[in-house]
């Protein structure tokens, strides 16, 4: 069952959320098994998670082998921006997770048509009030920013390959033009040289974004927003089946919640962090999209209640 | 300045807290420098942290080279149980932290007199209501348990060396006889075979203790208490100078707070977790005991207020 109830539950006040990123097929091995040809990619996980809260608009590219548009339709995701490049196959990634799930070995990366991806923004989408720039070439992220009217709230992701490779200047240019960024510890360290989460958060803020989300996998995530900090743990799970896509799912839950509510206050950013952490917790409970594509808002609300108890500080120490 | 105000601020209702563990001299190298002959050991960090909240009673052994009893006296720590074995030197440990502070290389371990340590409980101390069994041979932990009247609350630590070595059965016997345990991720995984924090917490509870604290360094700590779970992050710091002793300092803050307040409710265990995390955050801000030995309650209270903001979930997601 998909959460196709999206169209029924998304209030008319929700803003559309534009995402530019990868759509891929993944081969994944964890200690719980091996799966082939899983629908994946950063924009896929992001948009499926976001679709629980608002309408997602997806800009990406697939090859002539792609056969999964229906999944996006089931979630009310607009794929007018998902172009088919018939000259090749869809991006393919294969990886194997180590027993502790905290590290993985990439078995192969076949960019295929993604190597020639040039994002086109469909007519009408350039005014999307919320925008997420997934982990693509930072020059393409800058290109997208030049093609849209400044959104109300724009965030980006990036990765070690761009930061440490020849594109560091472009990454810094993009960072200077967005309001928010979501990165993991490794990327935070590469961007800032800092060793601690606080050092990374404050260091990235100096590069431009007022809002920094540091994603730490099983250790949760930290929000830096102006002078404020908010910490959300990972939802405690007995078993993690497949961590693939958890970071993109977090980003989709975070941005989807903000686009739905239209409230960029600190308190609402806290809620968005919790929404991201909750969606990511569902993501890792199944291979690929198996678990996250069937989540309903009631299940999200139940985990939210669990979080309130999980992190509640009683007043007064001494 | 030491927090020798302990005697002035500890209420008469506070219970004494007995700790059995190591007292050592450490040579430590981090990216911030190298220090020699730092006073260290699990019982040292534990008792100095606990002394902020209550009177600590220390059982341990030192060699004929030991010259630091005054530090304990300055903190109102009773060292009648700290015997001098004139046949050799004090336990010595040397270690080098890697740049990310998350891993370290042990340069040497000279057990010296600690190798022949047999804990003797001074007269009157066998009725101590709170007891912490530091990381010593589990057969000695069992020996201590046989020498005391069942305390109101007893917790223990252990380590990979005992769990994976020939003493696993003794570790399990000790676990079956304590109410609480404080371990790190590695120890939790070795004890249970679990991969996730929740799996480790629930797995250890099945071995006996109703209260399990999983210490995760820069990623904070999790409390499992009956069916309940509480998560406390690490206090955000720009710079970590020296992580040595942070786990023992956490344990000292946790147990010291409980002994001071005498309240073993879930809410008070949450406060004790915060006290532990706060004390550990001071510990890592200096080499050895430099930072933690000068902490005052006012500084602890300020960080407690920061934690309330750091983890506060606003009500209502949707």
Distance from CA of A289 to the nearest CA of B (A): 21
Looking at chain A, which residue has its C-alpha nearest residue B219?
A219
* DSSP code for B134: -
Cβ distance A196 to B308 less than 8 Å, yes or no, reads no
Q: How far is A235 from chain B (nearest CA, A)?
A: 9
Residue A177's nearest CA partner among A216, A151, A213, A215 is A151
Domains in chain B with CATH codes = 6-303 (3.40.1190.20)
To the nearest whole angstrom, how far is the Cα of B92 from the nearest Cα of chain A? 28
Give the best residue of B32, B52, B196, B216 to mutate against chain A (max A CB count within 10 A).
B196
Query: What is the structure's pLDDT at B10?
Result: 86
Q: Rounded to the nearest 5°, which phi and psi values hold at A237?
A: -130, 140
Beta carbons of B312 and A313 less than 8 Å apart:
yes
Q: Is A181 in contact with A204 (CB distance < 8 Å)?
A: yes
The SS3 assignment for A212 reads strand
A318 vs B222, B228, B297: nearest CB: B297
Look up residue A176 and give its DSSP letter. Answer: T
Q: What residues are paired with A221 via a beta bridge?
A: A215, A232
Q: Do B311 and A309 touch (CB under 8 A)?
A: no
Which chain A residues contact residue B307 at CB under 8 A? 313
Structure-token pair, residue A248: 């993109």
A233 to B231: CB separation less than 8 angstroms, yes or no: yes
What is the structure's pLDDT at B7?
45
Report the Cα A19 to chain-centroid distance in Å. 9
pLDDT for the residue numbered A3: 52
Of the pLDDT bands very low, low, confident and very high (cuts 50, 70, 90), residue B100 is confident
pLDDT of residue A7: 45
Q: How confident is the model at residue B3 (pLDDT cuts 50, 70, 90)?
A: low
User: What is the mean pLDDT, run by run of 10 residues, along chain A of 318 residues?
Assistant: 54 95 98 97 98 98 97 97 98 93 90 96 98 97 98 97 94 98 97 96 98 97 98 96 97 98 97 98 98 96 96 91
Give the pLDDT score at B1.
Answer: 42
Mean pLDDT of B60-83: 97
**Chain A residues lying within 8 Å of B218, measured CB to CB:** 196-197
CB-CB contact of B16 with B264 (8 Å):
no
Pair of tokens at residue A178: 């967005």
A305 CB contacts (<8 Å, ≥6 apart)?
none
pTM for the model stands at 0.95
pLDDT of residue A1: 42
Using CA atoms, how far apart are residues B40 and B31, in angstroms rounded to an integer?
Answer: 19
Per-position DSSP letters for B186-211, written without gaps between them: HHHHHHH--SSHHHHHHHHHHTS-SE
**From A99, A275, A310, residue closest to B317, measured CB to CB:** A275
3-state secondary structure (DSSP) of residue B169? helix
Neighbouring residues of A166: CB distance < 8 A, sequence distance ≥ 6? none
Across the range B218-236, mean pLDDT stands at 97
């Amino acid at each position: 069952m998909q959460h196709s109830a999206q169209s029924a539950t998304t209030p008319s006040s929700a803003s559309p959320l534009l995402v530019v990123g990868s759509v891929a097929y993944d081969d994944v091995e964890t200690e719980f098994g091996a799966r082939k040809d899983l629908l994946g990619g950063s924009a896929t996980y992001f948009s499926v998670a976001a679709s629980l809260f608002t309408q997602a608009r997806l800009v990406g590219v697939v090859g002539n082998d792609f056969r999964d548009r229906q999944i996006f339709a089931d979630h009310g995701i607009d794929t007018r921006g998902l172009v088919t490049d018939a000259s090749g196959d869809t991006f393919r990634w294969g990886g194997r997770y180590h027993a502790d799930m905290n590290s993985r070995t990439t078995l192969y990366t076949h960019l295929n048509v993604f190597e020639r991806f040039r994002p086109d923004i469909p007519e009408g989408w350039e005014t999307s009030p919320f925008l997420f720039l997934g982990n693509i070439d930072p020059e393409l992220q800058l290109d997208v920013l030049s093609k849209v009217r400044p959104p109300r709230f724009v965030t980006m992701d990036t990765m070690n390959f761009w930061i440490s490779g020849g594109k560091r200047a472009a990454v810094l240019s993009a960072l200077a033009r967005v309001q928010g960024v979501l990165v993991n510890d490794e990327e935070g360290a590469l961007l800032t040289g800092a060793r601690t989460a606080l050092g990374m958060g404050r260091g990235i803020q100096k590069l431009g974004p007022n809002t920094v989300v540091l994603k730490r996998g099983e250790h949760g995530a930290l929000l830096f927003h102006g002078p404020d900090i908010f910490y959300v743990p990972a939802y405690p799970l007995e078993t993690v089946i497949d961590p693939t896509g958890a970071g993109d799912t977090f980003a989709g839950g975070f941005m989807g919640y903000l686009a739905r509510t239209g409230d960029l206050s600190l308190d609402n950013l806290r809620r968005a962090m919790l929404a991201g952490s909750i969606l990511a917790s569902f993501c890792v409970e199944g291979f690929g999209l198996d678990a996250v594509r069937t989540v309903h808002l009631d299940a999200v609300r139940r985990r939210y209640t669990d979080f309130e108890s999980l992190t509640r500080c009683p007043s007064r120490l001494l």
